[in-house]
């Protein structure tokens, strides 16, 4: 990669484009190493421009010829693009360039995957296809002609004409270049159709390689459900005659929302019961929805610049989570999202990679497709909706679509719509977009019974600068309960001062007998410290705070294990019931790790009650049984001033899981039998939830029977969920060898299944062996550095095995660094992303810190290091 010296781009430096594009004609003469791209672009001066420079982005292009209004010109070319003298008024730019898709291993621009041509342009890949103002605020209609011998040739918009060896497409909707797409290959389609709310028929296709046709049906159903849902819930209709999805094996991300031609990582669209797990099905449904929803939130309304990425991503993630909640179980989706947020976004926000939901600067935008922009960005929208209410949210969204259709918009535009629709001042709320870091929310409580109402207020109350907010009760006689909150956001990299944020805190109160005495009430916190008073209570309540995880904060509250056990048994809010169990487990594990305490009986008792509670959704019960990840425990220990030792953490989890198995021993066979799903496989939430719980139970059983039942399940399994669960149990119990060999033989021709085979044996390996297993697998003939899925299945799995990755002798770090150094030369984007597994390096002991630092420095020192990786390693090292 011949990257130019790193330059930092700042949000504050934004200027409007000097030239706008009226329309674009592109001709592609496809050839593996010598593709010709001929462009004809009508430019016009931007009335809002602040300068007149004519600059077109372009990277790794060979310019064959260029003309302005038919006259040959000789532009000045640099590594980033070209500039040229141009007329004062409108003109036509024509250029012919040559590019080499076959040698494009970065998977950005036009490249080849399994014999097919495909593109990836977001964020700045179009400049590797032709010279163009490659920025999202330049939007234009595109006409594309593709010339090739391949039978299928696709681009954005509607097909207009085709003949022997060529096809032409026209996209009437103006769009930025990052939404351009082209596909050509020997493909087959799974066709269907959809009639929109105004009665228009849309042709739908999922295009795949011939062997994958049996894996398209589920994705197609998900697409139709998404189209219907967006009409029903957001009033958004599809706007072209055709919607195409293409599955591609080599892809850096999950999928891409190119207008009318979504391109998917095959792992994010292809599914069959034999080859895909329940989790795969659910993820595919969500990603199909996500990309489809981008048609309005992203494509019809796009981003002015890449700093506004959360405008489309936060909103679209929020929309796809609403969709999944509607299609499946809302509490289960919420809990899963919070688990994910804490596992991926919290560490990011609390470490060296911390950045605001709307960053203020970057070197390489590809490094900002992060959990903060996506998942915290979605949380921010959830808070906004909670604060203004469902009805006002709907009105604001209608206004957003009406006012900004066809625009390249900003976060300011987005917030303005909410201010106009609701009359609210969102100045303080905007801090959620500009301030990085996870707020910590401390809670203290005060109770005054009716009898001692005359005693002076407690110190906490007295210290509150503002009069406390009256929440409920008025003059009703009875006791008074006061909740006092203090918010504090620790300084983050580049941002030391933090101001108070608006926190929607959903609270309910339970009576001593477990009845709910105050239903969920939204407290709106705006100050650094604020009290809320509940009056007219007959007895001291037990509070359920931050129901549904109403704000992405760390709640700090001294709570007894008894109170947690009480909430676990009685809370009416499923999220907080789960949270109580989770905290009980977490505190118990921390005590085991720090003081060698025995396992907490209240958690074990709570679990034996929950697991048998047949009024509770099995999927929910499965989530209750899962323990916090080792990395989460490491983070908590670090916060509490203890240096985490990965081996001790792993050991504590093992011990607690074993004790859970012992506790449930008698019930396991019956419960497992109850969760068995009869009949044909269905990926629906109901049966999937039963299999999830059954899988947890099988894991426990394996600790008691040495793997006998898992071995039986492995043999009899008729779907991938059952097969993979059994295989994981066998590997963990040290009896996986034969099954792994059989699995490989059965599935060696299916790349997506072989990814699972790579991943599982590393992720489930005994930590002492994980790095060795990973190393051996990199020598396997099926290890393919160029395929991001395979690379993640190997190196990502190693990083997921916390104690294995952090093996004290540094073998895990060294192995990963070796491969990152190799991959950087081929695929900077995937390399840079994977570097983030080192982000928590400062949290560990001196020995491990030194080893991680040395390996990071080894990566940094590589010659010709990509801009992507250089920026990431630089930020991580600090
Ligand atoms: N915009 C894509 C999505 O969120 C993600 C993506 C980014 C894909 C960059 C490829 C490259 O759906
Ligand atoms: Zn997206």
Q: How many residues does the chain have?
A: 878
Q: Which atom belonging to ligand 1 lies closest to the Cα atom of 317? A: 4
Judged against a pLDDT cut of 60, whether residue 659 lies above it is answered with yes
Nearest listed ligand to the Cα of residue 136 = 1
Let me know: does 838 contact 453? Beta carbons within 8 Å: no
- Phi and psi at residue 523, to the nearest 5°: -95, 135
Residue 473: per-residue pLDDT: 61
Q: What is the DSSP letter of 795?
A: I
Q: Which of 874, 876, 814, 710 lies closest to 363 in space, CA to CA? A: 874
Q: How far apart are CA 124 and CA 7, in angstroms?
A: 15
Residue with CA closest to ligand 1 atom 7: 122
Let me know: does 368 contact 309? Beta carbons within 8 Å: yes
Scanning the structure block, which residue is given the tokens 């009406």?
402
- Phi and psi at residue 72, to the nearest 5°: -60, 140
Give the least confident one: 85-99, 245-259, 467-481, 692-706: 467-481
Nearest listed ligand to the Cα of residue 288 = 1
- pLDDT-derived band of residue 472, with 50, 70 and 90 as boundaries? low
Q: How far is the CA of 201 from the centre of ligand 2 (A)?
A: 26
Which H or E element spans position 587?
helix 574-595
Q: How far is the CA of 253 from the centre of ligand 1 (A)?
A: 6
Residue with CA closest to ligand 1 atom 4: 313
Q: How far apart are CA 425 and CA 429, in angstroms?
A: 8
The answer for residues whose C-beta is within 8 angstroms of residue 71's C-beta and 6 or more apart is none
Q: Which atom belonging to ligand 1 lies closest to the Cα atom of 123? A: 9
Q: How far is the CA of 221 from the centre of ligand 2 (A)?
A: 20
Q: What is the layout of strands, in order, in the sheet containing 81-83?
A: 55-57, 81-83, 76-77
The answer for residues whose C-beta is within 8 angstroms of residue 840's C-beta and 6 or more apart is 347, 351, 631, 634, 635
Q: Which atom belonging to ligand 1 lies closest to the Cα atom of 374? A: 4
Q: Which atom belonging to ligand 1 lies closest to the Cα atom of 252? A: 10
Q: Which of 57, 183, 168 lies closest to 110 in space, CA to CA? A: 183
Residue 452: per-residue pLDDT: 75
Helix locations, 210-366, DSSP H: 217-234, 278-293, 309-327, 330-340, 346-349
- Phi and psi at residue 173, to the nearest 5°: -85, 125
- Phi and psi at residue 714, to the nearest 5°: -60, -45
Judged against a pLDDT cut of 90, whether residue 735 lies above it is answered with yes
The answer for residues whose C-beta is within 8 angstroms of residue 228's C-beta and 6 or more apart is 194
Pocket of ligand 1 (CB under 6 A): 120, 122, 253, 255-257, 290-291, 313, 369
Q: Which of 378, 529, 402, 398 lies closest to 465 in space, CA to CA? A: 529
Residues in a beta bridge with 443: 485
Q: How far is the CA of 283 from the centre of ligand 2 (A)?
A: 14
Q: How far apart are CA 732 and CA 801, in angstroms?
A: 12
State how far Cα 29 lies from the chain centre: 36
Residue with CA closest to ligand 1 atom 1: 256
For ligand 1, mutation pick of 121, 176, 257, 290 (most atoms within 8 Å of CB): 257
Q: How far is the CA of 435 from the centre of ligand 2 (A)?
A: 22
Q: How far apart are CA 357 and CA 450, in angstroms?
A: 46
Residue with CA closest to ligand 1 atom 5: 256
Residue 259: per-residue pLDDT: 99
Nearest listed ligand to the Cα of residue 317 = 2
Q: How far apart are CA 482 and CA 468, in angstroms?
A: 8
Residue with CA closest to ligand 1 atom 9: 122
Judged against a pLDDT cut of 50, whether residue 458 lies above it is answered with no
In whole angstroms, how far apart are CA 854 and each of 352, 835, 858, 870?
17, 14, 6, 15
Q: Which atom belonging to ligand 1 lies closest to the Cα atom of 251? A: 10
Scanning the structure block, which residue is given the tokens 């991680």?
852
Q: Take residue 75 and report the two structure tokens written for it.
A: 């532009």
Residue with CA closest to ligand 1 atom 11: 122
Q: How far is the CA of 308 from the centre of ligand 2 (A)?
A: 13
Nearest listed ligand to the Cα of residue 366 = 1
Q: How far apart are CA 652 and CA 840, in angstroms?
A: 21
Residue 5: per-residue pLDDT: 67
Nearest listed ligand to the Cα of residue 316 = 2
Scanning the structure block, which residue is given the tokens 């106009």?
420
Gyration radius (Cα) of the chain, Å: 28
Q: How far apart are CA 707 and CA 266, in angstroms?
A: 33
Q: What is the DSSP letter of 373?
A: I
- pLDDT-derived band of residue 179, with 50, 70 and 90 as boundaries? very high
Mean pLDDT within 799-815: 98
Catalytic residues: 291
Q: CA angle 506-358-868, nearest 5°?
A: 130
Mean pLDDT within 68-75: 98
- Look over the chain and give the mean of its residue pLDDT values, rounded to a whole number: 96
Residue 453: per-residue pLDDT: 60
Judged against a pLDDT cut of 80, whether residue 459 lies above it is answered with no
The separation between the first and the last C-alpha atoms of the chain, rounded to the nearest angstrom, is 24
Q: Which atom belonging to ligand 1 lies closest to the Cα atom of 298? A: 1
Residue with CA closest to ligand 1 atom 12: 256
Q: How far is the CA of 252 from the centre of ligand 2 (A)?
A: 14
Over the stretch 536-545, which tens digit does the pLDDT of each residue have? 999 999 999 9
Q: What is the layout of strands, in order, in the sheet containing 516-525?
A: 516-525, 503-510, 542-545
For ligand 1, mutation pick of 109, 125, 254 (most atoms within 8 Å of CB): 254
Judged against a pLDDT cut of 80, whether residue 836 lies above it is answered with yes
Over the stretch 295-319, which tens digit does the pLDDT of each residue have? 999 999 999 999 999 999 999 999 9
Over the stretch 363-372, which tens digit does the pLDDT of each residue have? 999 999 999 9
Q: How far is the CA of 306 from the centre of ligand 2 (A)?
A: 13
Instruction: State the sign of the Cα–Cα–Cα–Cα dihedral 780, 786, 790, 792.
Output: positive
Residue 469: per-residue pLDDT: 79
- pLDDT-derived band of residue 471, with 50, 70 and 90 as boundaries? confident
Residue 470: per-residue pLDDT: 72
Nearest listed ligand to the Cα of residue 378 = 2
In whole angstroms, how far apart are CA 432 and each of 369, 552, 553?
17, 10, 11
Residue with CA closest to ligand 1 atom 8: 256
- Phi and psi at residue 199, to the nearest 5°: 90, 15
Let me know: does 396 contact 388? Beta carbons within 8 Å: yes
Scanning the structure block, which residue is given the tokens 């005054």?
448
Judged against a pLDDT cut of 90, whether residue 219 lies above it is answered with yes
Residues in a beta bridge with 660: none
Express as a percent the part of the chain with pLDDT over 90: 96
- Phi and psi at residue 272, to the nearest 5°: -150, 155
Q: How far apart are CA 434 and CA 11, in angstroms?
A: 11
Residue with CA closest to ligand 1 atom 3: 256
Q: How far is the CA of 343 from the centre of ligand 2 (A)?
A: 20
Q: Take residue 633 and report the two structure tokens written for it.
A: 């425990």
Judged against a pLDDT cut of 50, whether residue 811 lies above it is answered with yes
Q: How far is the CA of 705 from the centre of ligand 2 (A)?
A: 45
* 3-class SS letters over 200-232: CEEEEEEEECHHHHHHCHHHHHHHHHHHHHHHH
Judged against a pLDDT cut of 70, whether residue 455 lies above it is answered with no
Over the stretch 112-171, which tens digit does the pLDDT of each residue have? 999 999 999 999 999 999 999 999 999 999 999 999 999 999 999 999 999 999 999 999
Q: Take residue 853 and report the two structure tokens written for it.
A: 């630092």
Residue 623: per-residue pLDDT: 98
pTM: 0.98
Scanning the structure block, which residue is given the tokens 């060296």?
352
Residue with CA closest to ligand 1 atom 6: 256
Judged against a pLDDT cut of 50, whether residue 88 lies above it is answered with yes
Instruction: State the sign of the Cα–Cα–Cα–Cα dihedral 561, 566, 568, 574.
Output: negative
Over the stretch 747-785, which tens digit does the pLDDT of each residue have? 999 999 999 999 999 999 999 999 999 999 999 999 999
Over the stretch 430-453, which tens digit does the pLDDT of each residue have? 999 999 999 999 999 999 998 876
Residue 450: per-residue pLDDT: 86
For ligand 1, mutation pick of 120, 256, 319 (most atoms within 8 Å of CB): 256
Judged against a pLDDT cut of 90, whether residue 41 lies above it is answered with yes
* 3-class SS letters over 719-782: CHHHHHHHHHHHHHCCCCHHHHHHHHHHHCCCHHHHHHHHHHHHHCCCHHHHHHHHHHHHCCCC
Q: How far apart are CA 390 and CA 395, in angstroms?
A: 9
Q: How far is the CA of 142 from the centre of ligand 2 (A)?
A: 22
Q: How far apart are CA 523 and CA 506, in angstroms?
A: 6
Q: Take residue 172 and report the two structure tokens written for it.
A: 């009437």
Nearest listed ligand to the Cα of residue 319 = 2
The answer for residues whose C-beta is within 8 angstroms of residue 200's C-beta and 6 or more apart is 237, 238, 241
Strand, helix or coil for residue 736: coil
For ligand 1, mutation pick of 108, 121, 128, 255 (most atoms within 8 Å of CB): 255
Let me know: does 827 contact 786? Beta carbons within 8 Å: yes
Q: Take residue 476 and report the two structure tokens written for it.
A: 């009703």
Over the stretch 581-624, which tens digit does the pLDDT of each residue have? 999 999 999 999 999 999 999 999 999 999 999 999 999 999 99
Judged against a pLDDT cut of 70, whether residue 707 lies above it is answered with yes
Q: Which atom belonging to ligand 1 lies closest to the Cα atom of 313? A: 4
* 472 vs 591, more confident: 591
Residue 621: per-residue pLDDT: 98
Q: How far is the CA of 688 from the centre of ligand 2 (A)?
A: 26
Let me know: does 160 contact 170? Beta carbons within 8 Å: yes
- Residue environment code for 36-71, b if the CB has 16+ CB neighbours within 10 A, otherwise e: bbbbebebebbeeeeeeebbbbbbbbebeebebeee
Q: How far is the CA of 291 from the centre of ligand 2 (A)?
A: 6
């Amino acid at each position: 990669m011949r990257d130019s010296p790193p330059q930092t781009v700042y949000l504050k430096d934004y200027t409007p484009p000097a030239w706008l594009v009226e329309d674009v004609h592109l001709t592609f003469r496809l050839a593996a190493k010598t593709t010709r791209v001929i462009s004809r672009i009508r430019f016009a001066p931007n009335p809002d421009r602040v300068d007149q420079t004519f600059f077109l982005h372009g990277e790794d292009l060979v310019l064959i010829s260029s003309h302005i209004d038919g006259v040959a010109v000789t532009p000045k070319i640099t590594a980033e693009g070209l500039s040229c003298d141009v007329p004062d008024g409108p003109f036509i730019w024509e250029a012919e360039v040559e590019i080499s898709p076959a040698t494009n291993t970065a998977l950005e621009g036009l490249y080849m995957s399994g014999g097919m041509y495909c593109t990836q342009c977001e964020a700045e890949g179009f400049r590797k296809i032709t010279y163009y103002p490659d920025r999202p605020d330049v939007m234009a209609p595109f006409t594309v002609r593709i010339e090739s011998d391949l039978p299928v040739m696709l681009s954005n918009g509607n097909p207009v004409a085709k003949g022997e060896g060529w096809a032409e497409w026209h996209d009437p909707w103006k769009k930025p270049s990052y939404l351009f797409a082209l596909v050509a290959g020997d493909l087959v389609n799974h066709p269907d159709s959809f009639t929109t709310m105004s009665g228009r028929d849309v042709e739908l296709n999922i295009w795949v390689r011939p062997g994958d046709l049996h894996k398209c049906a589920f994705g197609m159903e998900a697409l139709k459900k998404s189209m219907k849902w967006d009409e029903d819930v957001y009033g958004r209709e599809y706007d072209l005659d055709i919607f195409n999805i293409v599955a591609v094996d080599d892809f850096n991300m999950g999928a891409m929302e190119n207008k009318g031609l979504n391109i998917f990582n095959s792992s994010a669209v292809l599914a069959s019961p034999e080859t895909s797990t329940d989790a795969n099905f659910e993820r595919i449904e969500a990603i199909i929805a996500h990309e489809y929803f981008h048609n309005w939130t992203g494509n019809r309304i796009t981003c002015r610049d890449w700093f506004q990425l959360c405008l489309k991503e936060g909103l679209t993630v929020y929309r796809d989570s609403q969709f999944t909640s509607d299609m499946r179980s809302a509490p289960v989706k919420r809990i899963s999202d919070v688990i994910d947020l804490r596992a991926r976004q919290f560490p990011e926000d609390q470490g060296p990679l911390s950045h605001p939901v709307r960053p203020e600067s970057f070197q390489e935008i590809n490094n900002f497709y992060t959990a903060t922009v996506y998942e915290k960005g979605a949380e921010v929208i959830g808070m906004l909706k909670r604060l203004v209410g469902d009805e006002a949210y709907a009105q604001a969204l209608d206004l957003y679509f009406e006012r900004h259709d066809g625009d390249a918009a900003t976060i300011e535009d987005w917030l303005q719509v909410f201010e106009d629709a609701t009359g609210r001042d969102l100045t303080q709320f905007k801090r959620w977009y500009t301030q990085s870091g996870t707020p910590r929310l401390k809670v203290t409580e005060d109770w005054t019974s009716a009898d001692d109402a005359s005693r002076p207020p407690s110190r906490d109350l007295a210290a509150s600068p503002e009069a406390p907010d009256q929440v409920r009760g008025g003059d009703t006689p009875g006791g008074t309960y006061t909740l006092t909150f203090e918010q504090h956001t620790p300084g983050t990299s580049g941002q030391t001062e933090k101001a108070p944020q608006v926190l929607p805190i959903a609270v309910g109160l339970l009576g001593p007998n477990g009845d709910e005495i105050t239903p969920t009430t939204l407290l709106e916190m705006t100050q650094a410290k604020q009290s809320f008073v509940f009056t007219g209570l007959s007895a001291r309540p037990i509070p359920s705070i931050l129901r549904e995880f109403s704000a992405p904060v760390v709640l700090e509250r001294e709570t007894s294990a008894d109170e947690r056990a009480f909430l676990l048994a009685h809370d009416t809010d499923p999220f907080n019931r789960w949270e109580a169990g989770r905290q009980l487990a977490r505190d118990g594990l921390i005590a085991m790790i720090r003081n060698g305490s025995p396992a907490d009986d209240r958690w074990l008792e709570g679990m034996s009650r929950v697991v048998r509670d047949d009024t509770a959704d099995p999927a929910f019960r499965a989530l209750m049984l899962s323990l916090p990840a080792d990395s989460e425990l490491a983070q908590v220990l670090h916060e509490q001033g203890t240096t985490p030792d990965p081996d001790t953490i792993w050991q504590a989890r093992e011990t607690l899981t074993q004790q859970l198995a012992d506790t449930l021993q008698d019930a396991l066979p019956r419960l497992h039998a109850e969760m068995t799903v009869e009949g044909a496989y269905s990926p629906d939430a109901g049966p999937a939830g039963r299999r999830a719980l059954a899988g947890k139970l099988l894991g426990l059983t394996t600790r008691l029977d040495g793997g006998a039942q898992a071995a039986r399940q492995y043999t009899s399994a008729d779907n991938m969920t059952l097969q993979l669960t059994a295989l994981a149990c066998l590997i963990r119990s040290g009896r996986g060898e034969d099954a792994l060999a059989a699995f490989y033989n059965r599935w060696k021709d299916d790349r997506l299944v072989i990814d699972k085979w790579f991943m599982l044996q590393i992720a489930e390996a005994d930590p002492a062996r994980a790095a060795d297993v990973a190393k051996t697998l990199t020598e396997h003939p099926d290890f393919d550095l160029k395929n991001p899925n395979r690379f993640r299945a190997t190196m990502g799995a190693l990083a997921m095995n916390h104690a294995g990755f952090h093996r004290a002798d540094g073998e895990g770090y060294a192995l990963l660094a070796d491969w990152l150094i190799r991959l950087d030369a081929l695929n900077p984007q995937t390399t840079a992303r994977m570097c983030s597994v080192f982000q928590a390096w400062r949290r560990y002991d001196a020995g491990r810190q030194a080893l991680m630092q040395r390996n990071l420095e080894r990566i940094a020192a590589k010659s010709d290091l990509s801009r992507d990786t250089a920026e990431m390693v630089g930020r991580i090292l600090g």
